[in-house]
Structure 1
Amino acid sequence: MSEQEFEKQGENQVRAWTEDWCKFAREALSVNLDKEQEAILSSVQYNPRTSVASGTARGKDFVTAVAAICFMYLTPKWRGKELIENTKVALTAPTDRQVKNIMMPEISRLFNRAKRNGVLFPGRLNAYDIRTDNEEWFLTGFKADEHNHEAWSGFHAVNTMFAITEASGISDDTFAAIEGNLQGNSRILIVFNPNTTIGYAAKSQKGERWSRFRLSSLSAPNVLAKKQIIPGQVDYEWVKDKLELWAKEIRPDEFTEEEDDFEFDGKLYRPEDLCRIKILGKFPKVGEDSLIPEQWIELANQRWEKYHKTYRVNQYPGLQRIGVDVAGMGRDSSCFVHRHDNIVSKIRKKNSGGRANHMEIAGAVKHHLDKDKRAIALIDTIGEGAGVYSRLEELGLVEQIASCKYSEAAKDESEEPLTDVTGQYKFANMRAYLFWAVRDWLNPRNNQNAMLPPSPSLLEEATEIKWKFQSNGSIIIEPKDEIVKRLSRSPDEFDALANTFYPATVSAPQNLTGLFF
């Protein structure tokens, strides 16, 4: 083979690796990733933000190191010998020990394994970094110091990656500093054990900006095979032993998805919080003051996906109720939630550009009401929604619209107090009733068979809302300002969903079928 042919072959090989990072990991690094780890690596290749919540010894730090090496050596671009698109990779963790003794040894093993395979990476391997002859191309690791945000100031590059392990132990202020560097072809990969439900890492598992993964010990190859397949990963005996300590064995008649009950080795278990965190890779059970547990949303999403995969429907049974939350100044989108009895067919957002556009929103509502003469639109008329409601009245749609005011008393059309599904709880105002109605609808114990299309933003909103009892025994929801403070935005999708439970009836013709798409 001539030198020119050899160089061409090398270029083709690098091109193939650049197009498929999993191929690079197998061939250049000789690593054996399981299917879930490969999915995480592919996410880092294509998505700006990847979040991984993981059980113990599930290989999260290893796949993070693989992703960092891939980014380091597959993203720079050259013109001849000139580096024209540089790359910088930062590895960080809450402590220096985690960087030096956990993350960098993984990097070192991969670097040296490639060398043994005949793949010689440019750069010198040191205790905390890989330095090349080009000062604008490097990988470095250091402790995330919340008091030293200047440490992040040098990470402006064409290709920039931040790989963060034990991310739940890093402050929101530090993440804010990192966020300032996410420009151009940037990546952020955060991996963590989900030991707390608050903070940046926890929010990443709910936010729509993120590609999200959960690594459960129950699905680890060593556990499934009951033998060592991938050295260093969690094994069957460890899981079996820890279930005796961290989970309760239950009978089949006690099994409920609401409690995240699961089957392992022919037995049924109910997890305690340590089991949820260290084995299932899930957050601890929500506090008693949280309105909606995350697992209720996930179950509703699963039912929705199964229903649509099974029936491939374009028509839904039952009366259509359209919850409308109208955007005003400073908010980007108005939200529409279309619910047909137990099925939310879709959640739509209409961009407003941060300005109120009553006529356009009224036109959108009218379009759907004209399409389905049995439908009713339930519009939040506190604030911007009042203008939309008035315009729809002018258009002669009074029989198909209802004004939803959160501050009004929680009473039905007969002026009787509204209660929860058990008839036991009463509510401080209409907002509390509507929010609790969503909770009752989603609660698996109530057998409502709720179906929701997957929406990371709705998941984030629903799981942030808190409630409490007043001194008179009625239920009240925390002020909206408190929710906005934690979310950094308004819970518009949840508000629109709650509006669909407003106790209003429709007097439009009843002999027509439901909504068609």
Structure 2
Amino acid sequence: MPTAEEIERQVLELVRAGDVATLRLVRDRFASRRSSASAQRAVKYMDDPVGWVWDVIDWQPGEGLAAYQEDVLDLLARERRVAARGPHGLGKTGMAALGVLWFATTRDAAGIDWKVLTTASAWRHLSVYLFPEIHKWARRIKWEMLGRPPFRENAELLVHNIKLRYGAASAVASTKPELIEGAHADSLLYLIDEAKIVPDGTWDAIEGAFSGGKTSGLPEAFVFAISTPGPPSGRFYDIHSRKPGFEDWFVRHVTLAEAVAAGRISPDWAEQRARQWGRDSAIYANRVLGEFHASDEDSVIPLSWVEAAVERWHLWDQAGRPALEGRQFLGVDVARAGGDSTVLAYRTGLAYTELETHDREDTMETTARVQAAVGRRLGTVPVVDSMGVGGGVVDRLRELDEPVLAYTGAAKSRMPSRDGEWGFNNTRSAAYWRTRELLDPAFDPTLMLPPDDLLLADLTAPTWAVKTWRPPTIQIEPKDDLIKRLGRSPDRGDAVVMGLYAELLASTTVQNPAKAGTGSQAAASRYGRTIGGTHSARGR
């Protein structure tokens, strides 16, 4: 190998001779050697994501990976097919983002043709959570450890992509498995975020990449599926339950105890959620215990149906909240005791845009609030629980000539179920069952619900039973029994359910007959029709 002095003399001779082409060749060779030497710093972490994270990320005092995060990342490098589940608050998205950055930087440094495809049950999980998390951790990389300069914004690190010299990481909607199936590279990593409801077609498209993969060497393929669990169904559940054909997957259940021991979840938070949702509820099992559980068998409304309605709300919100069509109603559940909340649920068509809660208000304050809400949203009809203190709100609104529907949960109901096979023991049972029917995925539901954990708990908590009368009658768990079981009143759920029952309530309820022929008639005519001098509000 020539000495530095000899190289310097050769370069000077080339300069004197004006040999520009050879000078460029020498320059490129030196740059390549320097780049190769620097790249070795990153290449050594190709099979060591845990070492990469600890050495390359600029951790602040007291920060770092939890033991279970080390375990999951190490499992990914060794076993290549990993499905991890656990409670909320584990740092799942952070772990996924670090995994993507580890894979991208090490494969690119090695000069390997690589790709990372990230997908999720909804595009929002990629655009709002995963890629912002990737950007956050990229800003904390100690680039000297990788022997390269920081990612160039808008050139290498984009909003939903990383584009480097030898490969790219991209976001792909789980509804487009053909884009996933078409991926080809010597080194592939698939990341499936919120994997519990990713469709089977996406899983099958990913499986095709493993047909040419090896257990060592190139080509190589990795898949990392991560999620809080849901009901015991779907591909993510099949993998975790070790069903035949999925033995080559390695599963990891991060327990609540592990998360508490790592300081990622507070035991007080877990205990409060038990009180809020109930220890036997699906939402507690899924989000706190990290267990698969469904409420389908005994609950009126399955949790997964409500979560799908919340996802529709998120899509509407992300689209800039486009104008909604349909009649406007306001479900009003009036607080019955000091610890309860008065809830106003705003509905347009089959979309609840927001919930508004107020504590420790008397009936006159609630009346004024409802009247103001109706004034802001012309044409809105309030549906008010007339039982107990709510009756005072109904009476005062009628005195003010406001059109109001009085909801009496204990009243008899003649409404049949959608298929005509069932009756209901009272209005409350009919209203909850109607909400169930509007959320049933078998009928392409469009109902949207705002993201609110208490609302999810309220709607999924009530149980139901069948009474062998003629016709067979559905009975929803009485509200007083539910309050005893939950330790609180399901105010949010009741407000939403009442609002969804508005059209059916209007078709069978005589509104304010004492004031027939007065200003009340004009108010009622805004949403009903006059029959024989009384006012029967019918849904249009």
TM-score (norm 2): 0.45
Question: Rg larger in 1 or in 2?
Answer: 2
The structure with the greater share of residues assigned to helix is 2
TM-score (norm 1): 0.47
